[in-house]
Each structure stands twice: as C-alpha cells, then as structure tokens.
C-alpha cells in the first residue's frame, strides 16, 4: 500500500513531505524512543509517534522509513516539516492515540 492510499483510507492529515506520498509502506513501527526505532524499525515502515522534533526526520531519513504519523493532534515543528519536504518523507497526523491508529494501520496493511 502506498502512503497516499493509507492517507485516504484513514483520513490522515498531511503536514509535509507531499512528494513522498507515493512511497510504498511495507509495515509499521510504533514507539516514542528514538533508539528503539533506530535499532528495530525496518526500511519502508510507517512510524507512529508523538515526537514532533527534527530528530525524528533524521531517523526517518537514515532508516528509509515510508512516513511518520503524529498522534493525538500533534503537529511537526517548523524545521521538522522543512526537512520532511527536503527528504520527501511525509509527516502525517491523526487526532487518535498511538494505540488506536496503530490498530487501524495494522488492519489496513493486512488487506
């Protein structure tokens, strides 16, 4: 499934990185601990987190993640959004909690 398909299906916000919406999602990882994501997320995964600072984009880029999903209505900081555009890795958003959106993404990716 492509990032844009997931955006449509789950009605996600797109905050930045629109050029990356055609990236393919191969799975997902949910964590707010950066070393956990660094050590355990895989290339192509979509990352669910509440962290909004620029280091998340550095990690998404280094790990070749498909996109970041910010939970609970959190929005990216300006420099995070800028880097998302440069790296063409979308930052998405939802008002749902990590628990709820992770469940929905998991279901959507199974189909």
Partner 1 sequence: MQIKFAIEGGDFATAGCASSQVKKLLKQLNIDPSDIKKIVVALYEAEVNIVAHAYRGTITVQIDPQKIIIVLDDEGPGIADINLAMQEGYSTATSKVREMGFGAGMGLSNIKKNSDELNIESIVGKGTKLTITKFFATS
* CA-CA-CA-CA torsion sign (98, 104, 107, 111): negative
Nearer to partner 1, 85 or 108 (CB): 85
| Nearest-approach distance from CB 50 to partner 1, in angstroms | 9
How far apart are alpha carbons 103 and 111 in whole angstroms? Answer: 13
Nearer to partner 1, 53 or 72 (CB): 53
Residues that bind partner 1 (CB under 8 A): 32-36, 38-39, 43, 49, 51, 53-56, 58-59, 61-63, 79
Nearer to partner 1, 6 or 23 (CB): 23
How far apart are alpha carbons 6 and 37 in whole angstroms? Answer: 21
């Amino acid at each position: 499934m492509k990032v844009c398909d997931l955006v449509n299906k789950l009605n996600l916000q797109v905050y930045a990185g629109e050029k990356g919406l055609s990236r393919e999602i191969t799975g997902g990882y949910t964590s707010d601990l950066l070393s956990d994501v660094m050590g355990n997320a895989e290339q192509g995964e979509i990352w669910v987190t509440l962290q909004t600072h620029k280091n998340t984009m550095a990690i998404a880029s280094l790990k070749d993640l498909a996109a970041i999903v910010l939970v609970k209505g959190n929005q990216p900081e300006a420099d995070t959004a800028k880097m998302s555009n440069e790296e063409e890795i979308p930052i998405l958003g939802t008002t749902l909690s990590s628990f709820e959106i992770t469940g929905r993404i998991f279901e959507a990716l199974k189909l």
